[in-house]
Structure 1
Amino acid sequence: MTTTTTTTAAVAGAADLSSNPLASWQLGKSAEQSSAPDLPRWNSITPEHVRPAIDAAVAEVTREIDAIEAALLENPNPPSDWKSLMDPLERLSEKLSRPWGVVSHLKGVKDSEALREAYDACQPSVVGASLRVGQSRPVYDALVALQGDADAWSALTPAQRRAVECEVRDAKLAGVALDGAEKERYNEIAKELSALSTEFSNNVLDATKAFSELIVDKAGVEGLPASALEMAAQTAKTKGGREDASAADGPWMFTLDAPSYMAVRSHAKNRDLREKVYRAYLARASEFMGDGDNAPLIEKILSLRKEKAKLLGYDTFADVSMAKKMATLDRAEALLEDIRAKARPAAERELEEIRAFAKEQGAPEADTGLMQWDVGYWSERLREAKYELKEEDLRPYFQLPAVIDGMFDLASKLFGVVVEPADGEVEVWHPDVRFFRLSDGATGKPRAYFYLDPYTRPAEKRGGAWMDDVVGRSAAMASPGSDVRLPTAHMVCNGTPPVGDKPSLMTHGEVTTLFHEFGHALQHMLTTESCGPVAGINQVDWDAVELPSQFMENWCYDKKVLRSIGRHHETNEPLPDDLYEKLVASKNFGSGTRYLRQAHFAMTDLELHARYLPGSPGGVFAAEAKIAEKTTIMPAIAEDRFLCGFSHIFAGGYSAGYYSYLWAEVLSADAFGAFEDAGLDDETAVVETGGKFASTVLALGGGVAPLEVFKAFRGREPSVDALLRHNGLVSAAA
């Protein structure tokens, strides 16, 4: 519930809001009425702008929901048409979600102490206002009445009916049926969980930033590729203040940021460095790292989620999570067990092969037994030996500008769109950020816009990669004279930055990550649904939302695509056939280990949210260790506190839902199988199949249930066969 203090503060600051770039961001300006869409003035927004703008938005939302409720209660026959009931609710929700989305995004990509303070100060009132809207009983009753009015219901489009059904379900999950002390307690839990999630994320970012290891002896960096040394020398300059640092002579600074961590883990001959970095990475935000221990937060989060589930009438939080997903708990766990059982024998063989290879190479550690920080190093050496392919052999061919161009060409061929740079037309939050316009290939009319933030910035940007919406496609939010507001997305990666006069030279894994996030963005941007609540990624079941992203990853092994995106940064020569063949041959190297690892994460997640009792002896780490008996081969080190950095389930949207990656991978592999069936060398068939994918998976968004969307594309329900075949696990299971 919004407090009087918040409302007063908002009114007091109203006179200053016209010059506040966050507050003055106008709703509904048509992207088709100017050369650029109406988007946030990212670079102009400072932490000082946050609280006045958000307080004003909270106050406005509170006033409007009060007015909507009053009108509904006064009317004995509540409105039963879409425009009178649902459109006002959509406009209301955006008055808070749009500015708060900007603040949340800036916190992820441009974090600072001042921004954290502003965010933390506003978070309780934002959560309170969201609960106020989500728990509106008059609105809920009007929606239920609409469902019960046969004539009014039949007048809605299928997408509108699904939107109402989702709103009713979400209201129940938001506690609309609770009263009195139960409702008050539910709201307290929601606010506390939101704050704990933020604290968890902050601790992970701070722990990642806090660690660094400076190496001054050239022998200490032996084995590391030139690209890693260039990056480490640059870090020594920017973070360590060593202006004399050079790639050739050092000093070199290594961090827990993904490109640095992975380079050390895979290539450093210096075993002590590998061990130190590995131990620090697994101990992030734990008791072993000093301040910011996330272990107590995890127990509190799980306890509150369990209590929340009980208030809603569910046995476990996993049941609450599954209420909005394709799968049931039983079906999700059955899939995980199926994959675990097929992956484990393969993973065991892979580890034995690595051990034998290390011994054959005379590795001193082979005599005492390989440790976890050795496996990544010797695995990479084995892969190089088996396939005569080094990761660094590929990097010169994957320069970011060429990869982007090739990715856009693929989208043009498959989905009939044209992507063009629109840099300079709008503000961005960092000089490295690019801005693009996506247009219809036939008409040339704009369909969407998106930002791309490609490089790691460990001092201010959280790790990982993600896509989110800035605004969605919507008829209700269109400005006068326009039929629809066009969607805008942002894609964020943490790839290798340019070093010196060289462009960003990417690993193949970074290329795959970029394609993955572009897949998410395409589903948001290429929707043809104008019903805002179910357009694009809105109301796509969480365990289906990874379908288009993982589908796009498959093209990173297609020969035509790789020759398009793979051009040497100095000679512009396309990726040679021999390197392509080696890359494809090595695709399934370590598949058993990868899938067993994913099964471990997903099974642990479900165990913690379905059966674990907070406060149990040994805590969550004992529960994880029990799962590990089935899902890991090497025993964990003493300071393994991976859960303390598992932001996906404790600070993201994947709680009791990490299995979604594997569930959606079944869908995506099967979807790509349609292109294989049509013939990847048959240009006409590929284009035709791409058009069908665009008109179903990408176009329908959340307006149709995901299973029905998949069936509309594939003509049948999904099968796990393609996933197992693509990853070489069929023979492994035999």
Structure 2
Amino acid sequence: MTSTATTSAPATTNPFLIGHGLPPFDQFQPDQVESAIQQLISDLTTALESLEQTMAPTWEALAEPLTQISERLGWTWGVLGHLMGVKNSPELRSAYEAVQPALVQFATRLSQSKAFYNGFKKLAEDRTLSPAQQRIVEAAIRDAELSGVGLEGEAKEQFNQIQQQLAELSTQFSNHVLDATKAFSLSLTTQDEVAGLPPSLLSLAAQAARDAGEETATAELGPWRITLDIPSYGPFLKHSQRRDLREKLYQAYVSRASSGDLNNSPLIEKTLELRKQQAHLLGFDTYADLSIARKMAPSVDAVEALMEELRSASYDAAVKELAELKAFAKAQNSPAADNLKQWDIPFWAERMRETQFDLNDEELRPYFPLPQVLNGLFELAHRLFGITITAADGQAPVWHSDVRYFAINDASGNPMAYFYLDPYSRPAEKRGGAWMDECIVRAHTNLEKPARLPVAYLVCNQSPPVDGNPSLMTFREVETLFHEFGHGLQHMLTQVDYPGAAGINNVEWDAVELPSQFMENWCYDRSTLFKMARHYETGAPLPEEDYQKLLAARNFMTGNAILRQVNFGWLDIELHARYQPNGTETIWDVRDRLAQKTTVLPPLAEDAFLCSFGHIFAGGYAAGYYSYFWAEVLSADAFAAFEEVGIENEPAVQETGQRFRDTVLALGGSRHPMEVFEAFRGRQPSTDALLRHRGLKVA
């Protein structure tokens, strides 16, 4: 495997400049960053200017050498960005902020090269290009146009300044959320304050207290430290019997990064204003139009039509669910029943779920230890796609001792890909959420013989091991792991030879969630579940009755769950399509106006969740949060293909799995997502399966 041969560098070499192969994570230091980036940009500028002078409009003389420049930049910038996400520190942050302007400036220079743009326009006329090459060339032309290649003089200068400012705002936004999350904690010292909390949370909270200097803290006696990190925050809201403490924690969570030095409100306003200016410079009416120009959805109207279809299908169900929840709380003699607040919903929903389905999330945790869940996930990948996954720890340097490394082999035992898994929450240095990212992209061209194998980063923030036990996962954490692994499969099982369309590259953003959401469905599959759901101490399988309860509870409060996502997606589109920054209406006015049709419990005045909405203000989802639903239409319909042949029909499942691998997972961005979907499904997608899976439509 050519890509992983270089795992270390000579002591005199700056490791950030290696530029290929596995990153030597045991060697990176923040003080190496600035000199590395200066050297890198100097070298790449020389290469870029030389290529502009010498290139011819052919694949070999333009696309291939330009790919080399882009990948060289991408390797270093990718490693730096990855470390910012998983090993954030004041020193690294300072170094990153120092070099970010130069990196953005070079990337802009690259994307606005008229020589390359004109070269690709000529290359597009070449009828000997393969479909994958044609897609890459078309994307290069479109991306250059959307990056301002056609701008001149003052307009170009303004556009480039906006690019710089947006990059800086995104980094600031993300840092503020991380710092605000880290800054708040609840210290609990009495049994009354921890009433109702499950043992797993008490253990985690005692460990957090020990980490904060309370050396004698124990799960039984405390003190306990509750944080805004999801493995702590989520269970506390579900189980704490202290309504006043739930309110305090909820208020802190939804107001993160909304005041003082960490206030993201001005950053949001500035970001929306700059995005709008950028869209206008490129000839678009709104930033939403600019965003959708790169996506599968044909227009803002089409996105809003889907939002409305889902809203109208779920709204009445959500109203009914809330009424039932209030009635349930009243039956339990809750004084809050007539006036349930946001911090009451998770608590009473969990009590109602326990009563209706006799199902307790915490009681299921012992059946989902991470090692066993991985076994079940890997067996499913073997069953569906004929691949074998084995531990390869020690074959690659890692950034933290908890990080694992795995190899994927084909049916003949030949290596196909590798991936890192960083599973646990580390709130002091790791941003929240879960994601998949590229470490190395597949390539098999004249420049890469044999094929360069792909490597992925899979990052989660699940409950860490506590008190000598393995990580005992909630079922939602299991679903999250399957989700990120689905992204990883598209990156790792690609058969496209060109990096520009291999894996997730050149896949329209609103189709990229297809394989990830597809994989989540398998968490409920009997065969898959029983392979992974085994008690971490006894090895006993999950009782059948608990499996049936999981199935029955799958769509509990589904109306509210869908409405919540519709609210996020529509708010995102509204802010980028119609909102006028610094106008008469504020972002909070927009939130309240939309909430009238997309929520059954109006948001609190103090709710500033937009200030921590990293997906759209520090990630790639601006005017694209709807993508989760757009892709869920595809993923639910794709899973329905397996239901139609019979999930227990092993030969048919394997045949369908192979077809899914050969299309959705293998073709990457080499063909339009609709073509890829039709190649797998034999027809256009339908919303029927999504509504049925969500419990809103009878089969």
Same fold (TM over 0.5): yes
Taking the TM superposition and a 5 Å limit, the aligned residue runs for 1:493-504 are: 493-504=460-471
Distance of aligned partners of 1:401 and 1:343 in 2 relative to their CA distance in 1, 3 Å threshold: same
Residue 245 of structure 2 corresponds to residue 262 of structure 1: no
The match for 1:585 is 552
- Match for residue 142 of structure 1 among 110, 119, 131: 119
Query: Could you report, residue by residue, the CA deviation over 1:249-271 in whole angstroms, capped at 9, with x for unpaired residues?
Result: 11110000001110111111011
Residue 276 of structure 2 corresponds to residue 306 of structure 1: yes
Taking the TM superposition and a 5 Å limit, the aligned residue runs for 1:344-383 are: 344-367=315-338, 369-383=339-353
Shift in Å, 1:311:
0.5
C-alpha contact 1:316 1:610 (8 A) present in aligned 2: yes
Equivalent residue letter for 1:252: W
Equivalent residue letter for 2:382: S
Following TM superposition, where does structure 1 have runs of at least 4 consecutive aligned residues deviating by more than 2 angstroms? 15-19, 475-479
SS at 2:127's partner residue? helix
The match for 1:10 is none
Residue 81 of structure 2 corresponds to residue 113 of structure 1: no
The match for 1:542 is 509
* Distance in 2 of aligned mates of 1:87 and 1:147: 15
SS at 1:449's partner residue? strand
* Distance in 2 of aligned mates of 1:43 and 1:321: 38
C-alpha contact 2:368 2:532 (8 A) present in aligned 1: yes
The match for 2:3 is none
TM-score by length of 1: 0.93
Residue 38 of structure 2 corresponds to residue 55 of structure 1: yes
Distance of aligned partners of 1:477 and 1:360 in 2 relative to their CA distance in 1, 3 Å threshold: farther
Residue 292 of structure 2 corresponds to residue 319 of structure 1: no
Shift in Å, 1:485:
0.7
C-alpha contact 2:291 2:623 (8 A) present in aligned 1: yes
* Distance in 1 of aligned mates of 2:564 and 2:294: 25
Taking the TM superposition and a 5 Å limit, the aligned residue runs for 1:22-171 are: 22-23=16-17, 25-27=18-20, 38-72=21-55, 78-80=56-58, 82-148=59-125, 153-171=126-144
SS at 1:372's partner residue? coil
Distance of aligned partners of 1:211 and 1:477 in 2 relative to their CA distance in 1, 3 Å threshold: farther
Equivalent residue letter for 2:439: V
Shift in Å, 1:475:
2.3
Taking the TM superposition and a 5 Å limit, the aligned residue runs for 1:406-445 are: 406-441=376-411, 443-445=412-414
Query: Could you report, residue by residue, the CA deviation over 1:563-585 in whole angstroms, capped at 9, with x for unpaired residues?
Result: 01101000111111111000000
The match for 2:484 is 517
Equivalent residue letter for 1:64: A
C-alpha contact 2:291 2:624 (8 A) present in aligned 1: yes
The match for 1:330 is 301
- Match for residue 687 of structure 2 among 707, 716, 720: 720
* Distance in 1 of aligned mates of 2:194 and 2:446: 56
Shift in Å, 1:18:
3.8
- Match for residue 473 of structure 1 among 423, 426, 442: 442
Query: Could you report, residue by residue, the CA deviation over 1:365-406 in whole angstroms, capped at 9, with x for unpaired residues?
Result: 125x11111111001100000000101121110000000011
SS at 2:431's partner residue? coil
C-alpha contact 1:91 1:477 (8 A) present in aligned 2: no
C-alpha contact 1:478 1:485 (8 A) present in aligned 2: no
The match for 2:415 is 446
Shift in Å, 1:476:
4.2
Shift in Å, 1:434:
0.2
The match for 1:688 is 655
Q: Percent identity?
A: 53
The match for 1:392 is 362
Query: Could you report, residue by residue, the CA deviation over 1:124-150 in whole angstroms, capped at 9, with x for unpaired residues?
Result: 0000000111000011001101123xx
* Distance in 2 of aligned mates of 1:103 and 1:55: 14
C-alpha contact 2:19 2:76 (8 A) present in aligned 1: no
Query: Could you report, residue by residue, the CA deviation over 1:171-225 in whole angstroms, capped at 9, with x for unpaired residues?
Result: 0001001111111111000000000000000000000000000000011111111
Higher alpha-carbon deviation: 558-567 or 617-626: 617-626
C-alpha contact 2:57 2:120 (8 A) present in aligned 1: no
SS at 1:426's partner residue? coil
SS at 2:419's partner residue? strand
Equivalent residue letter for 1:130: A
Shift in Å, 1:19:
2.6
The match for 2:175 is 202
* Distance in 2 of aligned mates of 1:115 and 1:478: 34
Equivalent residue letter for 1:316: T
* Distance in 2 of aligned mates of 1:336 and 1:638: 25
Shift in Å, 1:616:
2.0
Shift in Å, 1:83:
1.4
The match for 2:258 is 286
Shift in Å, 1:330:
1.1
Distance of aligned partners of 1:626 and 1:402 in 2 relative to their CA distance in 1, 3 Å threshold: same
The number of aligned residues is 690
The match for 2:622 is 655
* Distance in 2 of aligned mates of 1:590 and 1:49: 50
* Distance in 1 of aligned mates of 2:573 and 2:698: 28
Equivalent residue letter for 1:684: P
C-alpha contact 2:57 2:122 (8 A) present in aligned 1: no
Residue 416 of structure 2 corresponds to residue 455 of structure 1: no
The match for 2:4 is none
* Distance in 2 of aligned mates of 1:592 and 1:18: 59
C-alpha contact 1:208 1:284 (8 A) present in aligned 2: yes
SS at 1:633's partner residue? coil
Shift in Å, 1:26:
4.6
The match for 1:6 is none
Shift in Å, 1:17:
8.8
Shift in Å, 1:85:
1.4
Equivalent residue letter for 1:513: T
Distance of aligned partners of 1:297 and 1:722 in 2 relative to their CA distance in 1, 3 Å threshold: same
* Distance in 1 of aligned mates of 2:121 and 2:530: 55
Query: Could you report, residue by residue, the CA deviation over 1:446-478 in whole angstroms, capped at 9, with x for unpaired residues?
Result: 110100000000000000000000110012485
Residue 230 of structure 2 corresponds to residue 247 of structure 1: no
Query: Could you report, residue by residue, the CA deviation over 1:306-332 in whole angstroms, capped at 9, with x for unpaired residues?
Result: 000001011100011001111021111
C-alpha contact 1:670 1:719 (8 A) present in aligned 2: yes
Structure 2 residue runs of 5 or longer lacking an equivalent are: 1-8
C-alpha contact 1:478 1:484 (8 A) present in aligned 2: no
Higher alpha-carbon deviation: 701-710 or 59-68: 59-68
* Distance in 1 of aligned mates of 2:40 and 2:190: 56
Higher alpha-carbon deviation: 49-58 or 343-352: 49-58
What value does the CA root-mean-square deviation take over the aligned residues?
Answer: 1.3
C-alpha contact 1:421 1:435 (8 A) present in aligned 2: yes
* Distance in 1 of aligned mates of 2:34 and 2:383: 45
TM-score by length of 2: 0.97
The match for 2:15 is 21
Structure 1 residue runs of 5 or longer lacking an equivalent are: 1-14, 28-37, 73-77
C-alpha contact 2:19 2:72 (8 A) present in aligned 1: no
Shift in Å, 1:591:
0.5
C-alpha contact 1:17 1:53 (8 A) present in aligned 2: no
Taking the TM superposition and a 5 Å limit, the aligned residue runs for 1:606-617 are: 606-617=573-584
Shift in Å, 1:635:
2.0
- Match for residue 275 of structure 1 among 247, 262, 265: 247
Query: Could you report, residue by residue, the CA deviation over 1:519-544 in whole angstroms, capped at 9, with x for unpaired residues?
Result: 00000000001111000000100000
